[in-house]
Amino acid sequence: MQYTELILTVPASALDAAAEIALMAAPGGMYIEDYRNLVEDTQKIAHSDLIDAALLAQDRTTGRIHLYLPPQDPPAEAAAFLAERLAALGVRCGVETLVCRSEDWEHNWKAYFHPLPVGKRLLIQPAWEAPDPAASPDRVKLLLEPGAAFGSGSHATTRLCLEALEEALEQFPTRSAAVAPQAAGVLDIGCGSGILAVAALLLGAVRAVGVDIDPLAVASARENGERNGFRWPVLHILEGSLAAQVDGQFDVIVSNIVADAIIALAPEAGRCLAPGGVWVSSGIVDVREADVLEALQKSGWQVVGRREEGGWVCLTAQG
């Protein structure tokens, strides 16, 4: 199996934060080049002052993170996701791709993306394949082409979020736009490919609003909405931040992002939630769960649901 290598170059002071985000896109593993404490660590471990001249010449103000992606994970998607999330934290990042030309991946990765059942009712269907009527006839088909945006359904964080979203929507079976026109819907913060917003509509939501800081993600989400028969005003995709772009309240908020972004959203997200609604947050590395729980508690949230898979955690909370 041929892997693709992504190399992220970031300021050395941001290596720890960048590594946590990089974990989300590194199913094939990763390693970090960090030369900040080269001399001290060599003396401590090897008890020697002899260090290769090439190592001593390395830039200690920057660090590099090497990620390895299997064929089913297109590097364009991973690179876009990483650049977007790091930019949201104010981290400058350079991205380099090795082993395979990106233009080859634009088509070759599709051979590894197959229909994927998620939860009780959904089937993620590659948009370039004709759906098989005999395959999962009882499931709702979501036609998807992620392109350069994050969210194909193959990552554990997205699957956990979809499952929790489906469960959350079951709590509002009688809610309608006529009863609560400003609340009957789903808000997707950091919508990426739009997979969560589109899934919400297929699962019965009256409307869905997605917001993302990445213009490529916004375009991808709108295209995937149209593939499934949804466009404005039922599906509204906005470019920008939550604070600057979103008005009104929603039955369900979903955010498949990272722990630090969820912590930052905790004091603010409640203004977008209708009474009795829930906030589903995913993309939390298990070692950061305690930090997220502390932030939620401080902002008045009560966790009412939890899912975990492969070191990733998804929480459902009420305000």
User: What is the reported pTM?
Assistant: 0.71
Task: Tell me if the bond preceding 233 is cis, omega within 30° of 0.
Answer: yes
pLDDT at 128 over 80: no
CATH of the domain at 26: 3.30.70.120
Answer yes or no: do 90 and 219 share one domain: no
Query: 99 with 156, same domain?
Result: no
**Same domain? 100 vs 160:** no
Same domain, 69 and 184: no
In this structure, is residue 126 part of a structural domain?
Answer: no
The verdict on 160 and 302 lying in the same domain is: yes
Top-confidence residue, 157 or 44: 157
pLDDT, mean of residues 56-71: 74
Same domain, 170 and 293: yes
Looking at the fold, whether 169 and 308 belong to one and the same domain comes out as yes
Least confidently predicted of 69-83, 90-104, 249-263:
90-104
Q: Is residue 116 part of a domain?
A: no
Question: What is the Cα–Cα distance from 240 to 215, expressed in whole angstroms?
Answer: 9
Q: Which residue has the higher pLDDT, 153 or 49?
A: 153
Question: What strand order describes the sheet that includes 140-144?
Answer: 116-118, 122-126, 140-144
Query: What confidence tens digit (pLDDT) does each residue in 255-314 have?
Result: 998 888 899 999 999 999 998 899 999 988 887 899 999 999 999 999 999 999 877 899
**Are 99 and 157 part of one and the same domain?**
no
Phi–psi pair at 8, nearest 5 degrees: -100, 130
Q: Considering its fold, how many domains does the chain have in total?
A: 2
Residue numbers of the domain that contains 203? 151-318
